[in-house]
Structure 1
Amino acid sequence: MNQSVSYKRHRFPPQIIAHAVWLYFRFPLSLRLVEEMLLERGIIVSYETVRRWALKFGPDYARRLKRKRPSRRDVWRLNEVVVTIAGEKHWLWRAVDQDGYVLDEIVQSRRDTKAAKRILKRLLKKQGCPPRRLITDKLGSYASARRQIMPSVEPRAHKGLNSRAENSHVPLRKRERVMQGIRFVGGLQQYVSVFSAVRNLFVPPRTRRSALATHLHRRTAMAEWKGAANLAA
């Protein structure tokens, strides 16, 4: 059981800190825009303070959020996207399930079998069981890694089948434009881990839902967020 979040030695109330962190990770907002939105509510706080809150509390909140229960009937979709960090190419490898739920992601400097094996091993450790099917693009590294890590899993390698994994990169691309580039590998890894946990919580599953069902889903998500932030109901 995770320990309660501590706000000791912070002069701002927990509700303000949690709200600022939520704004930053839930929407493609710059730190300065979050500062401006708080100012509109009469809260005077610098964007550097928001940055420190995001770094300190974001990972803690994310660890306390409930994860989706894995199933052997899940379908994993893997994809990788290039990210330029300090002028050098890196690859963000991401796995989502049949509902678009982000299972894991990792920033690596390689785009080869070794990198593909690493994310598959991470996924097996985190999920606890292999999927029913693995869908990837036609990158040969996936096939080689799957044969070594999970040979019994049914493979599918087809670009047209993997649009859900490819679309999962879109929110990050929006954030990347707001941030005007990414400077550190570790910073990106930490950011995407929190960003995806928050997105998993608030975005409804990709099925046809009524407006009422979506509204109820978001209210439930907000209640869970407040619980993770250790806020009074």
Structure 2
Amino acid sequence: MGELKGMKELFAGRHFDREIIVLCVRWYLRYKLSLRDLVAMMAERGLDIAHTTIMRWVQRYVPEFEKRWNGYARRSGRSWRVDETYLKVRGRWVYLYRAVDRDGNIVDFRLSPKRDVAAAKAFFRKALRTQLRAPVSITLDGYAASHRAVREIPNEDEAWKRTKLRSSKYLNNLIEQDYRGIKSRTRPMLGFKNFDYAAITITGVELLHRIRKGQFALHRLNLKDRAAPAI
């Protein structure tokens, strides 16, 4: 992951104050605003900011904010509900794989250009790296590729040997409802023009979603040897 930069170093050389940058990035990720909405809102405060500048801030700072917050992340439960939804990038569908635990806490997510066995396995590997332990159970809907991925992945990594596969449309209502918060935010963004930009933006939206759910051990912010989150 690399050493985290200090806050002063992270924002060094920027024309606008750190508070303005963080505010624009947070509002863009949190509320149903387009980049041009934010430009208009900043203009009312006497600030002339181009929408492309805010877009660059999102790209530059979301990965840094995520690194900082992940240092305080709580591990999710071990009963995962997994599903995928779709978004458009340059007029083509891409797929957002997501998992929540039985309490609705976000386990992990991954944006993928494809929806197949390899994509599902890539998501499960990412989730394992995030959680540092495999789930006791994975609940899926009826999509065959994801079922195959769960059946095959124990042959590639023994960490998954004890994971049980369940299929239940009813139990997966939890994650389908959780998608609403993500889609309600991405809809006003008026479509993504670039896959990498979409992936970073979704990372920021998911981060704010996790913060609202209380998935971070904020009592640890008094540790003197760790950089506090900015967003």
Shorter-normalised TM-score: what interval? 0.7 to 0.9
Secondary structure of the residue aligned to 1:196 is: helix
What residue number does 1:100 align with? Answer: 104
Q: Return the alpha-carbon distance in structure 2 between the equivalents of residues 124 and 48 of structure 1.
A: 35
- Tell me how far 1:79 sits from its aligned partner: 0.7
8 A contact 2:62–2:203 mirrored in 1: no
Q: Return the alpha-carbon distance in structure 1 between the equivalents of residues 58 and 66 of structure 2.
A: 11
8 A contact 2:94–2:112 mirrored in 1: yes
What residue number does 1:58 align with? Answer: 62
2:101 alignment partner AA:
D
In structure 2, relative to structure 1, the CA distance for the partners of 1:167 and 1:58 (3 Å cut) is: same
Asked if residue 176 in structure 1 is aligned to residue 186 in structure 2, the reply is yes
What residue number does 2:136 align with? Answer: 132
Q: Return the alpha-carbon distance in structure 2 between the equivalents of residues 64 and 134 of structure 1.
A: 28
Deviates more, 1:47-56 or 1:170-179: 170-179
8 A contact 1:62–1:198 mirrored in 2: no
What residue number does 2:29 align with? Answer: 25
TM-score if structure 1 supplies the norm length?
0.81
Structure 1 runs (4+) deviating above 4 angstroms are: none
What residue number does 1:211 align with? Answer: none
Secondary structure of the residue aligned to 2:172 is: helix
In structure 2, relative to structure 1, the CA distance for the partners of 1:112 and 1:38 (3 Å cut) is: same
Deviations 1:71-113 (A, max 9, x none): 6x52211111122322322211111222323222222233222
2:20 alignment partner AA:
I
- Tell me how far 1:204 sits from its aligned partner: 4.6
**Pick aligned residue for 1:91 from 71, 95, 101:** 95
Structure 1: gaps spanning 5 or more residues: 206-216
Q: Return the alpha-carbon distance in structure 1 between the equivalents of residues 115 and 58 of structure 2.
A: 30
What residue number does 1:161 align with? Answer: 171
Corresponding pairs, count: 214
- Tell me how far 1:38 sits from its aligned partner: 2.4
- Tell me how far 1:34 sits from its aligned partner: 1.5
Q: How does 1:4-15 map to 2 (within 5 A)?
A: 4-5=6-7, 6-15=10-19
In structure 2, relative to structure 1, the CA distance for the partners of 1:38 and 1:81 (3 Å cut) is: same
Asked if residue 228 in structure 1 is aligned to residue 229 in structure 2, the reply is yes
TM-score if structure 2 supplies the norm length?
0.81
Structure 2: gaps spanning 5 or more residues: 154-159
Q: How does 1:69-88 map to 2 (within 5 A)?
A: 69-70=74-75, 73-88=77-92
More relative contact order, 1 or 2 (CA 8 Å, 6+ apart): 2
**Pick aligned residue for 2:200 from 190, 197, 212:** 190
- Tell me how far 1:51 sits from its aligned partner: 1.5
Q: Return the alpha-carbon distance in structure 1 between the equivalents of residues 127 and 134 of structure 2.
A: 8
1:90 alignment partner AA:
V
Q: Return the alpha-carbon distance in structure 2 between the equivalents of residues 83 and 167 of structure 1.
A: 16
- Tell me how far 1:31 sits from its aligned partner: 0.8
Deviates more, 1:129-138 or 1:104-113: 104-113
- Tell me how far 1:130 sits from its aligned partner: 0.9
1:202 alignment partner AA:
R
Deviates more, 1:185-194 or 1:82-91: 82-91
Deviations 1:191-232 (A, max 9, x none): 111211122012357xxxxxxxxxxx9xx69x99x93229xx
Secondary structure of the residue aligned to 1:181 is: coil
Deviations 1:106-155 (A, max 9, x none): 22233222221111111112211011221111112222211222242122
CA RMSD of aligned residues (A): 2.6
Secondary structure of the residue aligned to 2:86 is: strand
2:75 alignment partner AA:
P
How high is the sequence identity, in percent, across the aligned residues? 26
1:12 alignment partner AA:
F
